[in-house]
Structure 1
């Protein structure tokens, strides 16, 4: 196909996809079809209903098995909902800011999954606004009811009503994050194009996600090994349980707090320290102090730090090197411009610092539990950036030169799943949809062309430039005159690109 015809086709497709639908959006923002209304109700109600049901079952089961009355059941359910959304609670005179991460992560994942399912191939900005509003509005409504119930139950159980503004802020922030993540995963390729994100930033984002998962996985393995090494101390922590119900309760509570301990262990692995009140733990030193009698905390080391604990520092170094190798394979990073590698380290350090902030908090008389966040973020960035740069240099010298992607290279802009829970015939039908709300424009095609020219392909030198030209109707008339049965006549024009200047010789 000729370049003029290709450009014309691209402009036609882009203009068709980028036509503004202002009237449609304005009309659709205030009017919803019954089908879309049902989808939005699911987005707003399903995560909240599932969470409330789970908390009610746990609270009622605990009260019934322990022989307690059900007078404070509603207040306990409301407190469980607020605590699962990291809202600080005050029980009696004890402040509880250290709240379990597992239910929070599960509710955020559930809400993000519902938002991703609600995104359709022809979603407009108004539709996305409705999805975000539904994802936040439903949990906020449940939170307002829980706040009222907690205030009413404060006369029955020792629960002080939490701060209303803090409760609404935490719930809105968590579900906004869930909605953004769900929508971004669903239409991530289009968002990259719409926001004009450079290629190195996309590679850095994916590399940061892999580095965070690797560090969390290694920290989980360290927690399990340490717990098994100190399993003899678990019996002492169960002495205050009283009966089998108490043992089960402490075990479930330990599982809920396991992600908190894993995040704190990441801080220990990178060379920072985790503190529990006056006590602190790290690979360089251990400062003793009182810690809660909690089964999960049997994994916390005691005594002076051993010299071989320094071997744990190889874990973040190895993760950093692997991150540099990943960026070398998926980006055009050069040794003099490692933008993807540095952005990957920065994003991973930021994500882990936010996780560390949420995983810590006040724990009654013991004081603050958590990490020294500024030091933790700086050390994490250093461990991921410096060994990551070493991995990049090694890959550029020995594995993957600049501009030569490996055989298994996957373009990060081509990973959008068109068939996931949607009725997409094919990619052409997707772009041909006239209600696509202008996510694609001419810059997208120019950008893709520029990316295609970024890689040096010496094996294509000397290739023939073939041009297919549709013959004018006069040829078809002449062919019919001669009784030729050929319906389509295509003229192939072959030009040798390396020939010296001369008169053109074609196939006619």
Structure 2
């Protein structure tokens, strides 16, 4: 009878523990998914509402267009092109979008660490995308409803929803990849030397792209100092303090766009800016957008050779990337060069594609993304291949290859030597080897330590007798 009571108590205790775990996991998962879905979007929407309120208050035109302005701001934040008064503007500032993407990555990353199964990660991505899609639908409805009051034509709905999915879905996947990228590489068959080459190539290409963008930022700074008179002339068009402030803020928001265009110009690609053209070989002046930051576009240089000197910048970066990718194995060297060139080209392709576009009647502002990517890949791949050829022809590199071949040939012989040795010596090595210390049966890692939720769980049996 006592054994029966103990068995019944154990079953009841296990059932209570399962119910508590399920309730706690379900409540935590649902609450966390709701927070992931709406925390960043609602905070962003509140900030946009504050900015729109301040802008409308300073303009003195009332708050009748608040809904349309708020919806348009949300769409512009996600790089959705808008048509205002029949004039399409698709070259939108990158600063707000970069800040939003960084917030999504930083917020969803910790949530991804608590999830391990594909179903849990899929639910996290779905929640991170679903909430913003709902706000995008409401913003689209606000723009559509206010089209009769404000001359803003609603954009393509598929483009609006697709841009939202790309921003939040891409940011969430980036947050998950910070933890799971090694598992993804192993599942794709990237292990050993191939994984090392991929990591080395991606790091080198990423750093090369950042160096090109940094060189573009330095170029923009130099041009701001050299053409400050033109910049201040455009700034004077603001007339009042709020006008000066607005032009300054908009120029700062467009600063990453101009830096990306400057990096494309340093690579040798032509960069149109309205009616002007920034080109290393054939620049010419023209009408640019009425922004102070756009006034830095230079005209015809006094000496053309001075413009050709800027090609030293991508050449130096390509040489640095090639030296960083060196390896005694020619195939691994070329593999690293190709991966680094493709990575840099991909980064500049995305940055140029997002940052460039049309600016109404002035035409295009920004370089063509495929051309910039092709030039970046060409610089890094060609210079890297030349450096790899020179590195592979050095006597020191040939000696490293011969030493590696000897070591590789000797490895199987060492593995088979145990079968060729004297049996007595083999037995002596086995006996002299230190035995492995057995792991105690009660050992449990700290991370897997049991969590006691109820003191009753520590009891061997329950007292079933009534009080």
TM-score, normalization: structure 2? Answer: 0.77
**Is 1:322 aligned to 2:320, yes or no?**
yes
Q: Is the contact between residue 101 and residue 359 of structure 1 (CA under 8 Å) also seen in structure 2?
A: yes
Q: Does the 8 Å CA contact 1:280/1:286 hold for their aligned counterparts?
A: yes
Matched, 1:389 2:385: yes
Equivalent runs, 1:250-289 vs 2, <5 Å: 250-289=247-286
**Partners of 1:455 and 1:69 in 2: how far apart?**
76
Task: Say if 1:42 and 1:114, in contact at 8 Å, map to a contact too.
Answer: no
Where structure 2 has 5 or more consecutive residues not aligned to the other structure, the ranges are: 1-21, 432-467
Q: Tell me which residue corresponds to 1:431.
A: none
Q: Give how far 1:186 is off.
A: 2.2
Distance, in Å, in 1 between the alignment partners of 2:416 and 2:33 is: 59
Matched, 1:504 2:437: no
Match of 1:81 among 62, 68, 74: 74
Number of residue equivalences:
397
CA distance in 1 between counterparts of 2:244 and 2:175 reads 37
Q: Give the aligned partner of residue 371 of structure 1.
A: 367
Q: CA, structure 1 residues 231+193, in 2 after alignment: closer, same or farther (shift >3 Å)?
A: same
In the superposition, relative to structure 1, how do residues 122 and 182 fare at CA in structure 2: closer, same or farther (>3 Å)?
closer
Instruction: Give the deviation of 1:90 after TM superposition.
Output: 1.0
Aligned to 1:97: 90
- Shift of the alpha carbon at 1:212? 1.3
| TM-superposition CA deviations, 1:274-330 (whole Å, max 9, x none) | 00233211111112321122110122112246311212111111211222223237x
Please name the residue that 1:350 is paired with: 346
1:54 aligns with 2:47: yes
Give yes or no for contact 1:333–1:402 (8 Å, CA) kept in 2. Answer: no
* 1:115-264 equivalence runs, <5 A: 115-120=108-113, 123-197=116-190, 198-199=194-195, 200-264=197-261
> Does 1:106 find its partner at 2:99?
yes
C-alpha distance in 2, partners of 1:56/1:349? 37
> What's the counterpart of residue 407 of structure 1?
none
How many angstroms apart in 2 are the aligned matches of 1:403 and 1:75? 70
- After superposition, the CA RMSD in angstroms is 3.1
Q: Which 5+ residue runs of structure 1 have no aligned equivalent?
A: 1-27, 405-453, 466-494
Would the aligned equivalents of 1:335 and 1:392 in 2 still touch at CA under 8 Å? no
Q: Which protein is richer in helix relative to its size? A: 2
- CA positional deviation for 1:338: 0.7
- Structure 1 length as normaliser, TM-score? 0.71
- In the TM superposition, what is the alpha-carbon distance from 1:387 to its structure 2 partner? 1.8
Change over 3 Å in CA distance of 1:149–1:394 after alignment to 2: same
Q: Structure 1 residues 401, 43: CA separation in 2 closer, same or farther (over 3 Å shift)?
A: farther
Partner of 2:451: none
If asked which structure has higher relative contact order (CA below 8 Å, sep 6+), I would say 1
Q: CA deviation at 1:96?
A: 0.9
Instruction: Report 1:65-76 matches (<5 A).
Output: 65-76=58-69
